[in-house]
Amino acid sequence: MTEASLIGLFVATVSFGALLYLAALGELLAEKAGVLNLGVEGMMAIGAVTAFIVGVEFKNPWAALLVAMLSGAILASVHGFFTVGLGAEQVVSGLSLTILGLGLAAYLGKDYVGLPPGAELVPVEWAGFSDLPWVGPIFFNQAPIVYLALLMGIAVSFVLSSTRLGLALRAAGESASSTDSAGHSVLGLRLSAVAAGGALAGASGAYLTLSITPQWAEGLTAGRGWIAVALVIFGAWRPGRVGIGALIFGGTLALKTRLQPFGVDFSPIILSMLPYVLTLAILLIISIQARKRPSPAPFGLGLPYRREER
Amino acid sequence: MRRPRLSLREQPLPGGQPLAFGTGLLIALIVGILLLLAAGHEPLKIYSRMFEASLGDPDAWAKTINRAIPLGLAGLAVAIAGSMGLWNIGAEGQIMAGAIAAAWVARIGGDWPGIILIAMMLIAAVGGGGVLALGPALARAKLGVNEIITTLMLNEVAIRLVQWLIHGPWKDPDSYNFPLAPMLPDQARLPTLFSRAHFGLLIAAAVIVIASVAVRYTAWGYELRIAGSSEATARYSGISLSKKILTVLVLSGAVAGLAGGVELSGTADRLTETISNGFGFAGIIVAALALMRPSGVAVVALLFGAVQIGGQSIQTLGVSSSVSTILQAFVLFGAIGAGVFSRYRVVLDADTRSSNKELSDD
């Protein structure tokens, strides 16, 4: 086990962690407002493909990122319209969104498969810091989206815990009818949370095609959207804990292709089951503890709200 | 300001669900036309090709039926859980667990007579799917753990289990180091009925009929539906919820497992990581369109089978098969929308205050 390969492992851990964190933060926002969105995988795919297309056509990575976030938000709004607006089943609508997103991404990206990227977000050099041993490459030489993920984590955490908007948003997820009585628009809060969540999932997808694997291919998201859904539970709906979880799960993704240099004879496929198995374990622990203290899940998660039915 | 608002109809529109389904289909077809036009294709030509390839002649019907079999069984699995208000999102994984179990039987029973081998494979498949659903079932019944997430997570575990098997212990030594499981023995294959339509059609039909009758006409099914509509009512009438949850989720997994076994024995040459091909997820849409009624699943599954087979056929015309994926999602979204409007009407409020007054009318 060389130092270089160990550093490489940690660099990839942070990088994959940021990828998962962005998508998971989006899911957390939607779930905090009471909407389960199982369309993360589809929204990531749409973000990934639109970012790549804009990159190829306009050569501007920032425009690509912006369009990816916008596309993610638009796709998420389809889910918002049906579940929040029309009160459709969130599970069914979310899964359809995944199917729709993967289909649309394949349709849009058909002519872009295998093309070289037109724009990339390359690692940032932080004067002085990037040359530090260990922490330099691991923390101070990452792609800009990694820092965006960190910023978003802090922002989401701050908005949810310390602002009126965040309070209203959480209230919409805990008890829609009392939020309504308090004069807030449950519809507006939930729709915005879902759309914002979609934008974050789109950004996560963009990170794939602008930095991690700067190419487009069908199935590029490879089930990472499901890890994001798992992360929200793993982190007990708290932005900070979800961040820690993202690093752990990101580590398993990073390890997957890097076991060989460490001389470990262990199937990377078995390792890739770890995030899901860990999440299952956490779910069990949460529910066993729930007998003593309340579950961290938003109380109104999954429940549609119609004023006349309260 | 006049704001649109949904208001519950006193009576749902007659023929609501078939109408909603038809509307969804129509919306999907229109979206498809737009997509095809945007890509510079002739929609009518593409659609007639899709129709020809999926329902045009007996061979086409056979393909559609072979696709509808796993879709119908997966849809039934979801619908069984759904009649009790439970979500089995894990059909995808249970299909793979069923296929793994069936493939394992085919490995050890390569020299058994066909009928015994196939029967054992299907029984094993039922068991495999049931076993994968057992964990979520126990967790939900005993600890109240939400089954949506547990079944969803196990999908990802199951697909990796298949990958591990075909990359490792079950890799065919004669596959020139490709990650392929060995071919199934010939007698492990289900017989065909006509063209390439295989015997799985009768198995699926039988299971769907039995499940429909059980849910609709037996005391067991009645209790199931009561528990689905109101937990409180179920408790008052002395129905043991946790036992019911356990049996229903395991049964649901078992049916999905059967889909995996039938698919392996009916259409696949060997165990592959695409053995489920999204059937589990499509099954959720199928069940939702059938309003979680086992009896409605068959029709919807046939239609989805036709859309999928039609979608594959247009690839030769240079059209991305993703068009059919998009169509499937739009059928559902269209149907959800239409379904809502069959139960609700849109009223325009003068302002929010008057809507509160109107509450008593609804």
Report DSSP state, residue B358: G
C-alpha–C-alpha distance, residues B278 and B283, integer Å: 8
CA B79 vs. chain centroid, Å, equals 8
Residues in chain A with CB shorter than 8 Å from the CB of B144 are 287, 290
CB-side neighbour CA atoms (13 Å) of A257: 8
Which pLDDT score, from 0 to 100, does residue A310 have? Answer: 44
Find the closest chain B residue to A278 by CA distance.
B153
pLDDT, tens digit, for every residue of A54-86?
A: 999 999 999 999 999 999 999 999 999 999 988
Longest CA–CA span in chain A (Å) reads 65
Run of H or E including B293: none
Which pLDDT score, from 0 to 100, does residue B354 have? Answer: 43
C-alpha–C-alpha distance, residues A106 and A111, integer Å: 9
Measure CB to CB from residue B152 to each of A88, A226, A308 and give the nearest one. A226
Give the percent of chain A with pLDDT over 90.
Answer: 56
What are the structure tokens assigned to A165, written together?
């908007």
Which pLDDT score, from 0 to 100, does residue B33 have? Answer: 92
- The CA-CA-CA angle for residues B42, B46, B52, to 5°, reads 150
User: Token match 């009916």: residue?
Assistant: B266
Mean pLDDT of chain A: 89
> What residue spans define the domains of chain B?
59-297
Residue B1: partners with Cβ closer than 8 Å, 6 or more residues away: B351
Run of H or E including B346: strand B344-349
Dihedral in degrees, nearest 10, Cα atoms A182, A183, A189, A190: 70
C-alpha–C-alpha distance, residues B302 and A28, integer Å: 37
Q: Are the C-beta atoms of B129 and B250 separated by less than 8 Å? A: no
C-alpha–C-alpha distance, residues B329 and A304, integer Å: 21
Which pLDDT score, from 0 to 100, does residue B358 have? Answer: 42
pLDDT, tens digit, for every residue of A203-218?
A: 999 999 999 988 999 8
Q: Do A91 and B148 touch (CB under 8 A)?
A: yes
Q: What's the pLDDT band for A308 if we cut at 50, 70, 90?
A: low
Note down pLDDT in tens along chain B; length 362 residues.
566 777 777 666 666 677 788 888 888 889 889 989 988 889 999 999 999 999 999 999 999 999 999 999 999 999 999 999 899 999 999 999 999 999 999 999 888 998 999 999 999 999 999 999 999 999 999 888 889 989 999 999 999 999 999 988 898 888 787 888 888 998 999 999 999 999 999 999 999 999 999 998 998 888 888 888 777 777 777 778 889 999 999 999 999 999 999 999 999 889 998 888 889 999 999 998 888 889 889 999 999 999 999 988 888 888 887 888 898 888 888 888 777 777 777 777 655 444 444 444 43
For chain B, the first-to-last Cα distance in angstroms comes to 22
pLDDT exceeds 70 at position A132: yes
Q: Do A110 and B322 touch (CB under 8 A)?
A: yes
Measure CB to CB from residue B156 to each of A82, A218, A276 and give the nearest one. A276
The CATH fold assigned to A3-121+143-309 is: ABC transporter involved in vitamin B12 uptake, BtuC (1.10.3470)
C-alpha–C-alpha distance, residues A206 and A212, integer Å: 9
pLDDT, tens digit, for every residue of A88-99?
A: 889 989 999 999
Identity at B315, one-letter amino acid code: Q
- Mutation target among A20, A84, A107 for the B interface, most CBs of B within 10 A: A107
Measure CB to CB from residue B340 to each of A86, A277, A307 and give the nearest one. A86
> What residue spans define the domains of chain A?
3-121+143-309
Q: Do A287 and B285 touch (CB under 8 A)?
A: no
Helices B200-217 and B219-229 meet at what angle, rounded to 10?
A: 70
CA-based nearest distance A268→chain B, Å? 9
